[in-house]
Every structure is written in structure tokens, then in C-alpha cells.
Amino acid sequence: MKYNAISLLDKLDQLQAMFFYSTKLAEAIGVSRRTLLNWRQKPESISAKCRLDIDVLYCRHFLIPEWDDPKQSFEAVLLPDDMPHNEALFLPFLRRLSYGTIEIETGMAKADFDNIIDGKKLPKNMDRQTFLEGFNAFMTHKQLWQRIVEHSEPMPITVENIKTLHADFMRGIYDNAGFFSTKIRVMGQLDGVQTTDPEDIDEEMYRWVYKEAKSATLEAIAKAHAYFILIHPFGDGNGRVGRALVMAQCLNARLMPPVFDGENRAMYYAAMEYAMKHGRYAPLIRLFYQAVKSK
């Protein structure tokens, strides 16, 4: 993503010119005006969270308008014929996909993820939750690949299978793994987006399955993903489940799945927010195509 090649100070300069008042920019990022001044003197002091907040704000105001072209067209990327049974090709892909989805949600270090997958036991100085997050993510994606690609059994996208996916990701991590939430959920990085009321989740998920289960183009799958995340049916792990559904739908259609990770995370959040708030999907669709081809 081109915004990764721009320094944080340059991004702040461009954002400052747009917001004009430093107090308004500070408010948009969620910090004090004094903090902005300190960042100018010591950019290395900007925390990982604030770096992400700056990137999301930059994408929201500079890239989203540029990408919001409903007339854009892209060429589908099919699953390569030589990939399904070639471990040298598909195992590195599964590792990137699995680590990316965990990196987005937890910020897990790549070295920790590699230790989890290569060691297959709890590494020293690692808590049990971190281990399970990495291990469950890799095994869940690997099982999807084995079922759909190696054994040629398309995964039916049903409410029960979605609950099973959640249980696979969150087993040992989350008490209500595999069950829809009974509480109000907060989106986190996505601002001003209201999730489905708990009492309506079950009905809305059946509606999602009825409308979106057979999505077979990347455009349709991108829209279905935004719809799923907007419902936000689980108390935790919605992003992991949602991106695994993207993978399953792509593999069902013999399409290469997109890989979302720290490199495109800010645009992922900005494009998702834009689709949910305004019903405009062009930036999200473009991101899905780029996330396929860049890997």
C-alpha cells in the first residue's frame, strides 16, 4: 500500500493542512494538541496504536476519495492449477493468511506466530491465550484448505458452520466460543458504526446466509464481508471469522483469497467503515483485488 511509503510526519503534515487547526486534528486522532507537538520533536515516540490511527485517518481522507470509483473493473485471480497440492506454494500462503488475520486483531509479533506454528507447543515466556490465538488461526485455515481444496468438498455457508468456525478460532480463548453474543458489541477501530442488537442477531445471520452464502465473485464476497462485520454476531473474533468466510467463499468459487495483514490494515479499516456508513463499496472491492495480487 502506497501510504506505507509515506513517513508519519508527512502524513501529519497533509492531515494538518486539511484540518487546518491542530486542535481538530488532535481530536480526530484522539490525542491532545500537546501530544501532536511532541510527535514533531520525537516521531519515534508515536505508539503503535497511534500510528494505526494516523494511517486510518490518512486513508479515510486521502485514499478513499481516490478509490471511490464505481466504474473501476478488475480481473479475477483464479486459484492456480499447480497450487492446491503443492505444499511449497500453499503452506507459505496459509501462514501469511493466518498470521495476517491475527496481526490485524491482536498485533501478535511474527516471531511469536512462527514459534507457535513451528514448535506446536507453548513457547517459553508466552501466555496460553497468545499461543491458542496463533495455533487456532493456523489450524482453522489449514482445515478449510484441506476440506475445500484437497478433498474437493465445498464448505456450505450455513449459520451452524459459521458458529463452528468461531468455536475453532476461539476455543480455549473465549468462554462463549461458538455462540452468538447476548450483549452490545463495540466495533473498535471502526468509528460510529452500530452493530446489530443482540436480540436480532439470530434472524439477521439467517438473512445474511440467505443473501450472501453463494457469493462467487470477489465483488460480491467483499460486500458480504462488510455486511457480516456490520452484524458483528460474536462477542469477540468477528474479524477472524469474517475473513475466514471470505477465504471459504473464495475457495468454493476457485478464486485466490485476499490476504489482509499489517500492511493493508489501515485501508481495510477505512474501506470497511466507508462501506458500512455510506453503502459505497468501490474502495473495499479495490482493496480485495489488491490484497489478492500483492501476495
Q: Check residue 160 and give its pLDDT.
A: 98
What the chain holds in terms of domains, given with CATH numbers, is 2-53 (no CATH), 87-293 (1.10.3290.10)
Q: Check residue 189 and give its pLDDT.
A: 66
Which residue in 188, 170, 187 sits closest to 49, CA to CA? 188
Residue 131 zone, left/alpha/beta (φ > 0; ψ -120 to 50; rest): alpha
Q: Check residue 217 and give its pLDDT.
A: 97
Q: Check residue 171 and give its pLDDT.
A: 96
DSSP, residue by residue, 163-195? HHHHHHHHTTT-TTTTS--SS----SSSTT-PP
Tell whether 4 is in a known binding site: no
Q: Check residue 174 and give its pLDDT.
A: 93
Q: Check residue 187 and give its pLDDT.
A: 78
Tell whether 240 is in a known binding site: yes
Residue 232 annotated to the active site: yes
* pLDDT tens across the length of the chain (295 residues): 788 899 999 999 999 999 999 999 999 999 999 999 999 899 999 999 999 999 999 999 999 999 999 999 999 999 998 888 888 889 999 999 999 999 999 999 999 999 999 986 778 889 999 999 999 999 999 999 999 999 999 999 999 999 999 999 999 999 999 999 999 988 776 667 889 999 999 999 999 999 999 999 999 999 999 999 999 999 999 999 999 999 999 999 999 999 999 999 999 999 999 999 999 999 999 999 999 987 5
Annotated catalytic residue, options 141, 166, 225, 232: 232
Tell whether 259 is in a known binding site: no
Residue with cell 468509528: 191
Tell whether 34 is in a known binding site: no
pTM for this entry: 0.94
Tell whether 243 is in a known binding site: yes
How many whole angstroms separate alpha carbon 267 and alpha carbon 57?
Answer: 9
What the block records as the C-alpha cell of 7 is 513517513
Q: Check residue 85 and give its pLDDT.
A: 81
Q: Check residue 2 and give its pLDDT.
A: 80
Tell whether 237 is in a known binding site: yes
